[in-house]
Chain A
Amino acid sequence: MNRIFLFLILSTIAIFASGAIEGEVQKQALNMSAIVMFVIFVGATLGITYWAAKRTKSAKDFYTAGGGITGFQNGMAIAGDYMSAASFLGISGLVYAKGYDGLIYSIGFLVGWPIILFMIAEPLRNLGKYTFADVASYRLRQGPIRTLAASGSIATVILYLIAQMVGSGKLIQLLFGLQYEVAVILVGVLMILYVTFGGMLATTWVQIIKAFLLLSGATFMAIAVMAHYDFSFGALFAHATELKGIAIMSPGGLVSDPISAISLAVALMFGTAGLPHILMRFFTVADAKEARKSVFYATGFIGYFYILTFIIGFGAIVMVFKNPQYLDMAKDAIEGGSPILGGNNMAAIHLSHAVGGDFFLGFISAVAFATILAVVSGLTLAGASAISHDLYASVFKKGNVDGIKEMQVSKIATVVLGVIAIIMGIMFEKQNIAFVVGLAFAIAASANFPILFLSMYWKKLTTRGAVIGGSLGLATAVILVILGPTVWIDLLGNTKAIFPYQYPALFSVTVAFLGIWFFSITDNSHEAALEREAFEAQYIRSQTGIGAEGASSH
């Protein structure tokens, strides 16, 4: 085992080194301080993986880090899972481009968290073991419910992975001067290493370290920006509006009509509560008390981070916009409008150079890469668990399988998912993938969330209702995204979208809830009666934790 591990580390270094040389050959800007800091990060996380591998002996260790992570650590890891490179670079880039609209977006990403705490976190912890399908199938039929929940999880995970892989390839290409394919393979291989060898324990610590680095780096940038204006927001905004106009201080075109506004809100709120890699994190803590603390700390970190990205976006307006050093001259000559190198999403990266020079640019670049690694690791682990725990152990083997065998299947699934992610990442390089994360959230909100929520709180839910309603929600989300403007017009080149709204969640979530309700209450089978009868015992356990999974002792 250890020999394989060492071999993989060495081959990773080899890939990295060859990539660096190719970068030089192609005369791309090679960012030495970024590479040094990145190598330090990778070295440290591989060291953690080695340590975690020795402590990961059972399936419980593999899926939940033994269940002994503290609330504070888990809060930090959840924040590390949730603050992706897309939200760091994307939201600061949105603030840079549109001002206030960026704030609207980040608020949407935050408000799902209190709901997760009030409604989901405790019953989830009290009822589940490794995946949210444990909870959804607690009193319903294992086969169909787990198959559906695993499909929703795997679809969400793969879509999210595609977005992360393509983003990482492009980002690394820009930051480190590595080739796109090399960057994608590097991310894929490192992620497979973390997850297969270190399981949840290594993944958790990669996320904690990354969250700490990202929050420290962003704090430094925000303070550096504010120090320029004697910590006066008025002065910062005054300067920014001189450069970009007064419109950046008010809501713009992000949400234009009420239906889109509500639909986006529904997708973000309920989608967050249906993301499998986020839900899985609640099984890593000992009990409901630590689960609550996790959400409290996570909400604090994430909220603080969004306030920072807002300042960073405005900082980029005053320090990066119209700064000849970061101007994309070739593009400016053709299109005008003073575009920055690498597009708006690079605003935070350029700002790091403006406030801290090459060294700090290197630091933030390495942090951005670390962010991608942490997020893809969490995603892959969640996807692999759905395959091994839900599909293989519960559906295929009907529960007759030991933990070690299940863990092996999980590791194989991790490698397969890693390879799929690499292939998809390379395939989608030139595609417009703007719809992918939206689709992932729509599926999470329309299939995963309604089944999970109703299984916890609605006595009359039956297997038939959950399967038909959940499938309808899933199908509606996918179909409406395809018929909507992002895919139908932007991707397929049609002139008019059949479904006029960009966000389908309002409709698909409604379809899911109505479908589940209707096909449950009309279910008069004997099994349905037994499922309703089993609700009381489940509800008592969900409320009190009596009979719930504890932490493993070591």
Chain B
Amino acid sequence: MKKELVEKIKRNPDYIALVSKRSSFAIKLSISILVVYFAFILTIAFEPSLLGTPLSEGSVTTIGIPIGMVVIVFAFVLTGIYTKRANSEFDDLTNKIKKSIKGQ
């Protein structure tokens, strides 16, 4: 990539918007999955009996089972949320940037 092109894209408002929006979105989502997963794994390390609490009185099913399932579904839902926004909003911005450099 030529130096002039780099300078030009760097100052492109769409590029600035794309980078800041995507970075903050990706960081927020990464932190969500890390917090959820480490909360889960550290509960197991420090307080394993907590996940062994029965779901209701007399039930053998523990709260750990739905919580584990929720972590799996949560991971999938996050990838869905990111993909949806990136494939529309972020890709639109990217296409605008590409058009602006082709236009000249």
Contacts and interface: CB of A to CB of B under 8 A. Distances in A.
B30 A237 contact: no
Contacts of B65: 100, 103, 233, 237, 249
B48 A250 contact: yes
Given A107-B40, A546-B98, A234 B60 contact: yes
B9 to A, nearest CB: 5
Interface string A294-310: 01100110010011000
Contacts of A234: 59-61
Interface residues of A, number: 55
Label chain B's interface by main secondary structure. helix
A107 B37 contact: yes
Given A265-B41, A303-B75, A544 B15 contact: yes
Contacts of B45: 255-258, 260-262
Interface in B43-68: 44-46, 48-49, 51-52, 59-62, 64-65, 68
Given A251-B64, A261-B45, A544 B40 contact: no
Interface of A: 100, 103-104, 106-108, 110-111, 113-115, 117-119, 122, 233-234, 237-238, 241, 246, 249-252, 255-258, 260-262, 264-265, 269, 288-289, 292-293, 295-296, 299-300, 303, 306-307, 536-537, 540-541, 543-547
Interface string B10-30: 100001001100100011011
Interface of B: 1, 3, 6, 9-10, 15, 18-19, 22, 26-27, 29-30, 33-34, 37-38, 40-42, 44-46, 48-49, 51-52, 59-62, 64-65, 68-69, 71-73, 75-76, 78-80, 82-83, 86-87, 91, 94, 97-98, 101
A261 B76 CA distance: 22
Contacts of B52: 249-251
A122 B64 CA distance: 34
Contact of B62 (A249, A256, A260): A249
Contacts of B69: 307
Contact of A251 (B48, B60, B87): B48
